[in-house]
Amino acid sequence: MTIEAGQQLSHYRLIEKIGEGGMGVVWKAEDTRLHRNVALKFVSEAGIENPDTVDRHLREARAVASLNHPNICAIYDIGEWEGRRFIVMELLEGRGLDEQIQGEPLDIETAIELAIQIADALGAAHAKSIVHRDVKPANLFVTNSGQSKVLDFGIAKLSADSEGQAGPDDATRTSLDVTTPGSVVGTVSYMSPEQALGKPLDARTDVFSLGVVLYEMITGRRAFDGVTSAALFDAILNRAPTAPVELNSDVPIELQRVVNRAIEKDPAVRYQSAADLVADLKRLKRDASDDRAVTDPLAATARGRRPRSVVIASIIVVVTLVALFVVATRTTLLTSESELKPAPGTAASDSSGRPTIAVLPFTNTSGEADQEFFSQGLTEEIINGLARYRELSVISKLATTDYKSNHPELDTRDAGAVLGAQYILEGSVVKVENQIRVSVQLSDTSDGRSAWGTKYDRELTTANFFSIQDDVTAQVVNAIAGMYGALARVKLESLRRKPPESLDSYACVVLGYEYLYVHTDETHLRARECLEAAIEAEPNYAEGLAWLAYMYAEEYHHRRNERIDEYDALDRALELGLEAVQLDNTSHYTHGFLTFTYFFRGDYERGSIQGHRAIELMPQNAMWLALLGIYLSQIEDFEQGIPMLRRSRELDPNPPAWLGMGFFLDHYMHDRYEEALESAKRIRLGDDFRMPMFLAAAYGQLGRAAEAAPWLEELRNTLRFPLGELRAELISRQSMSPAISDRLIEGLTKAGLELEP
């Protein structure tokens, strides 16, 4: 039987097909008796002869028919027409939760509200002894009004508690979506450990699956994943997922605790019911509403303050925790840093030419004892973070503490002269109720001017005390010393005012920084020639080798200053990159720059390994997160790449303009062309052909050829190769997947570009 629009099935008139999957086909239809639109779900044509499929269809109807809940898609009727069984369902308008997430985290409040509704619906099913067993984003719907609906109870079953046994072969039921070993797996990602093992199930399996869904809602990525079934089952059974706050800094620590409890591998220590989960989520929602009641906590009056006894009690707890932390760290510092105190008046850079920075003790302006410990701990953490950058020389804390105690009125230039520092970092901490503000400023001691400054506002509780320190430290350190940080920008400005008089190694590395900022043939040639001379004079300078390898990789990547008659640039990049890693396996530069070379060679596995190693060595450096995130996105691994790009953007207050390429590709390959266009407009790539290509392709997919025309013209003008070789260029020299390359060319063709064969 062929089903077509306009057909009359009993008193239902088919209007249009609105969905299709392996198990069924869904049509929008009109109920001519009640004059309302409904959804008709048919067993798929392929499944008509399969008793299991028909049985699943009937089971879904019976299960949902026994439930009456606003967050469960209602079943109105069940019927049969010419041998085709169908269910009459509530017609929903909106989109699936999987479509809403698409690799990006939802707003935290939205995620909590949806999770409350879903958990409440599952609780209603559990009260009827019905376990869903297939909770996943594809089976959860969000209406246009923001209401969640639980769908597809096709593999639901009565719990063992009501049946007195586990029921039909659970191992078979839970493997419906499992593919053969070694292939990519689907919805197994949301199974509980006991479900994956084929054990008897109860309501707690749905709680686990919902916890996994909530994790994905707040992070944009799956909690458990793997390219093979074996890897995925191992993750579910044995491995803890990355902490949500590491993937999304907006996640409250209490929400992370809720998620962690929901996805406990042992059902005995998991939430024992959906109702328990709902209670904690509602408490979170209420507390978040209370926090928002004070619109500017730092300017708030005594209105709405907590009782004094509660404030005092929280301060005592915080002071106790921090005092233990500070005593432990200062014991180490006193034994190791006393020998590092510099002599007054030493040069602003050390013997290797590295710039010297002094971090003055942060000032506690709150007048509260607990904040004194916080400001001290924050100072030490920032010093330790900056000390990890070997291109910096950091003055010891004892020296800066002595200076500040003797010079309460700070004069930046005097401090630089006394401490022998080219840069001074100072800051203050102020607390009002449970909100804390950290202000930070970096100054150049040569003229006293401010090189960089910012403020961080955070909620301060005992639970998140150390996470605030870590968060602020990472952002401050990256903003100062990261590849696109304040020190690099100040150094470049100085370099442009007065070119280096000698080709010493550090000056050449600074020219490498300049190329990172300004991608042109001129800056590339200047850095490459300088680094070649530096390596000839100092052949064992590992980071110089790494930077030079990067210049050769860029020579291949962008066809800059090519010398194809003399050498193969990519081979030379690999040779020097491997030599740099061998000389210094602990440098984030040596591993990070090798990432480029491997990706340009099409060796994505080795490139990914090197990129992750650079991130491990310098996790607060936004550059490596952005780099690996971009290249993973270019091979369509958006699930890993996009969270890296978001984290990079959080860490770096001045992110590189090319960061948007990953977001563009994610939107573009998921047919979100309007969003792709907005991302493309923010990309700045100098004389690179990709920016006009991205804009023209997005306009082309949107059917706006007239607006694409000037970008097509710019694309033609910036190409360094024949237009007919565009696809090969994208795949080989730009490291883009064939699918992305083809989709970009499709957009360009729609925009009016004619590609020569």
Amino acid at 621: N
Largest distance between two CA atoms of the chain:
95
- Does residue 404 contact residue 338 with C-beta atoms inside 8 Å? no
Beta-bridge mates of residue 42? 25, 86
Count of residues in the chain: 757
Count CB-CB contacts under 10 A for residue 100: 17
Rounded Cα distance between 93 and 301, Å, is 45
Strand, helix or coil at 75? strand
Question: What are the counts of helices (DSSP H) followed by strands (DSSP E) for the chain?
Answer: 31, 17
Closest to 633 in 3D by CA, of 645, 623, 648, 622 = 645
- Chain centre distance of CA 576: 31
Bridging pattern class, strands 94-96 and 75-81: unpaired
Query: What are 724's two structure tokens?
Result: 């007919």
Q: CA geometry: angle at 623 spanning 633 and 535, to 5°?
A: 115
- Does residue 142 contact residue 114 with C-beta atoms inside 8 Å? yes
Rounded Cα distance between 14 and 6, Å, is 5
Phi and psi at residue 129, in whole multiples of 5°?
Answer: 65, 30
Residue 134 falls in the annotated catalytic set: yes
- Does residue 566 contact residue 528 with C-beta atoms inside 8 Å? no
Query: What are 58's two structure tokens?
Result: 């009937």
Rounded Cα distance between 757 and 754, Å, is 9
Q: Alpha helices, DSSP H only, in 601-725?
A: 604-617, 622-634, 638-651, 660-669, 673-681, 690-701, 705-718
Q: Give the DSSP H/E element, type plus range, for residue 285.
A: helix 274-292
Phi-psi region of 645 (alpha: psi -120 to 50; beta: other; left: phi over 0): alpha
- Does residue 28 contact residue 93 with C-beta atoms inside 8 Å? no
Residue 568: DSSP 8-state: -
Q: Alpha helices, DSSP H only, in 83-169?
A: 97-101, 108-127, 160-163
From residue 233, give the alpha-carbon distance in Å to each of 190, 197, 578, 748. Answer: 11, 9, 35, 42
Checking 485-492 for CB contacts under 8 A at 24+ apart, the result is: 485/452, 485/652, 486/442, 486/451, 486/452, 487/355, 487/357, 487/392, 487/423, 487/442, 487/451, 488/513, 488/517, 489/451, 489/452, 489/517, 489/654, 490/423, 490/444, 490/451, 491/355, 492/517
User: Which residues 6+ apart lie within 8 Å of 58 measured at CB?
Assistant: 78, 85
- Compute, in degrees rounded to 10, the torsion defined by CA atoms 672, 677, 683, 686: 130
Count CB-CB contacts under 10 A for residue 525: 15
- Does residue 742 contact residue 727 with C-beta atoms inside 8 Å? yes
Beta-bridge mates of residue 80? 85
Catalytic residue among 134, 206, 444, 688: 134
Beta-bridge mates of residue 635? none
- Does residue 112 contact residue 255 with C-beta atoms inside 8 Å? yes
Rounded Cα distance between 596 and 550, Å, is 7
Strand, helix or coil at 635? coil
Q: Which residues are catalytic?
A: 134
